[in-house]
Amino acid sequence: MKTLIVYYSRSGNTRGATNLISSDLDCDVEELIDTKSRSGPLGFIRAGRDATGRKLTTLEAIKNDPGEYDLVVIGTPVWGGNMTPAVRTYITENSDKFKKVAFFSTAGSSDSTKIFNEMEEIIKQAPIATLSIIGKEVKSGEYKTKIEEFTNEIKD
Ligand SMILES: Cc1cc2nc3c(=O)[nH]c(=O)nc-3n(C[C@H](O)[C@H](O)[C@H](O)COP(=O)(O)O)c2cc1C
pLDDT for residue 69? 98
R_g of the chain computed on alpha carbons? 14
Length of the chain: 156
Q: Supply the residue whose CA is at minimum distance from atom 22 of ligand 1.
A: 77
Ligand 1 nearest atom to the CA of residue 48, by list position: 1
- 141 — alpha (psi -120 to 50), left (phi > 0) or beta? left
Q: Are 91 and 122 in contact (CB under 8 A)?
A: yes
Ligand 1 nearest atom to the CA of residue 10, by list position: 27
C-alpha–C-alpha distance, residues 43 and 100, integer Å:
33
Find the 156 Cα to ligand 1 centroid distance in Å: 30
Find the 82 Cα to ligand 1 centroid distance in Å: 9
Q: Are 153 and 131 in contact (CB under 8 A)?
A: no
Pocket of ligand 1 (CB under 6 A): 9-15, 44, 47-48, 77-81, 106-110
Model confidence, pTM: 0.98
| Residue numbers in the chain where pLDDT is lower than 50 | none
- Among 37, 78, 109, 131, the mutation site with the greatest number of ligand 1 atoms within 8 A of its Cβ is 78
Find the 4 Cα to ligand 1 centroid distance in Å: 23
Specify the number of domains making up the chain. Answer: 1
For 91-112, give one letter per residue: b (16+ CB within 10 A) or e. beebeeebebbbbbbbbeebeb
For 15, the domain range is 3-155
What CATH number does the domain containing 85 carry?
A: 3.40.50.360
pLDDT for residue 156? 81
Angle at 53 between CA 47 and CA 55, to 5 degrees: 75
pLDDT for residue 63? 97
pLDDT > 90: what percent of the chain?
Answer: 99
Instruction: Find the helix packing angle between 40-52 and 85-93, rounded to 10°.
Output: 50
pLDDT for residue 93? 98
Alpha carbon separation from 136 to 23, 28, 81, 82, 107 (Å, rounded): 23, 29, 17, 19, 10
